[in-house]
C-alpha cells in the first residue's frame, strides 16, 4: 500500500505544484468525503458571457483544457461530442519511429450521458489517475443566466467505488485540478463573447 501511495504521489505532484489561480468570484470545495468516495464542486459568475457563449466554449475543450493534464501534452488532441453517448476523448499520436500503418492511440476521458444546450452537460468517467481504479465518476455542469446578463456556472464531480488511495488525499487534488480547468473555461468563454474584433484591440 505504501508503494501505491508513492506512485500516485509521483503522478499527482505536477497537479499540486501548479494549483489553480481562482477567479475572484470562483468558489470551490470538497463538499463531501467518505470511505466510499467524494464530491467536489465549484461555482462562478461570468457577468460578460451568455450561457450560449459558455456552452460553445465548454464543448471545445481543446481551447481551454490545460495540456499539462492531458496524456499527450497537447490540448489540441482533445475533443468532445456534445450528445448522449458522445466521447470526451484524446488522440495519442504514434510514437516516433512507428510504422506508417500503426494505429494512433486514444483515451476516453469521459462519456456524455446528458446534453441540454445551453443549460446542462453531464458526463461519466474517472479522470486522470482515477481511471486506473475501480471508480465511477459523474461530472455535471450547469449554466444559468444571470439577471441583467451573464452566466452562473456550477459544476460538481461525484466519485465513488473502490480506490487504493484515501479519499482524504486524492479529493483535494481532484478539486484543484478541475477548478483550474473551469476557471480556464470561463476565460475561453470571455474571449468567445468578446468576438474577434474586440480581441484584436486588447
User: Which pLDDT score is estimated for 57?
Assistant: 97
> What cell does 9 get?
504521489
Nearest-angstrom CA–CA distance, 12 and 111? 23
Nearest-angstrom CA–CA distance, 80 and 119? 16
User: Which pLDDT score is estimated for 9?
Assistant: 36
User: Which pLDDT score is estimated for 184?
Assistant: 96
Residue 16 falls inside a structural domain: no
For the sheet containing 151-162, what is the strand order? 27-34, 37-46, 151-162, 134-145, 120-124, 105-116, 87-92, 78-80
Residue 5 falls inside a structural domain: no
Residue 19 falls inside a structural domain: no
Its domain, for residue 66, covers 24-92+104-193
Residue 23 backbone phi and psi in degrees, to 5: -60, 155
Counted domains in the chain: 1
The single-letter DSSP state of residue 133 is S
Residue 76 falls inside a structural domain: yes
CATH of residue 32's domain is 3.30.530.20
User: Which pLDDT score is estimated for 24?
Assistant: 45
User: Which pLDDT score is estimated for 102?
Assistant: 83
List, run by run, the mean pLDDT of 10-residue segments along the chain (202 residues).
36 37 61 96 94 97 97 97 98 87 91 98 97 97 96 97 94 96 94 61 43
Amino acid at each position: 500500500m505504501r508503494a501505491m501511495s508513492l506512485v500516485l504521489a509521483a503522478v499527482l505532484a505536477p497537479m499540486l505544484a501548479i494549483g489553480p489561480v481562482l477567479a475572484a468570484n470562483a468558489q470551490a470545495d470538497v463538499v463531501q468525503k467518505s470511505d466510499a468516495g467524494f464530491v467536489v464542486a465549484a461555482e462562478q459568475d461570468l457577468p460578460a458571457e451568455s450561457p450560449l457563449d459558455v456552452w460553445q466554449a465548454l464543448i471545445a475543450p481543446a481551447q481551454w483544457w490545460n495540456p499539462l493534464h492531458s496524456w499527450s501534452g497537447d490540448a489540441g488532441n482533445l475533443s468532445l461530442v456534445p450528445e448522449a453517448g458522445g466521447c470526451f476523448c484524446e488522440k495519442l499520436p504514434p510514437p516516433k519511429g512507428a510504422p506508417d500503418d500503426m494505429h494512433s492511440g486514444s483515451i476516453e476521458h469521459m462519456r456524455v450521458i446528458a446534453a441540454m444546450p445551453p443549460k446542462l452537460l453531464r458526463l461519466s468517467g474517472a479522470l486522470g489517475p482515477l481511471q486506473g481504479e475501480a471508480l465511477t465518476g459523474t461530472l455535471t455542469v450547469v449554466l444559468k443566466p444571470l439577471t441583467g446578463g451573464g452566466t452562473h456556472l456550477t459544476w460538481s464531480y461525484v466519485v465513488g467505488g473502490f480506490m487504493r488511495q484515501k479519499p482524504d488525499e486524492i479529493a483535494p487534488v481532484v478539486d484543484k485540478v478541475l477548478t483550474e480547468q473551469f476557471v480556464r473555461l470561463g476565460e475561453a468563454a470571455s474571449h468567445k463573447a468578446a468576438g474577434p474584433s474586440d480581441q484584436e484591440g486588447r
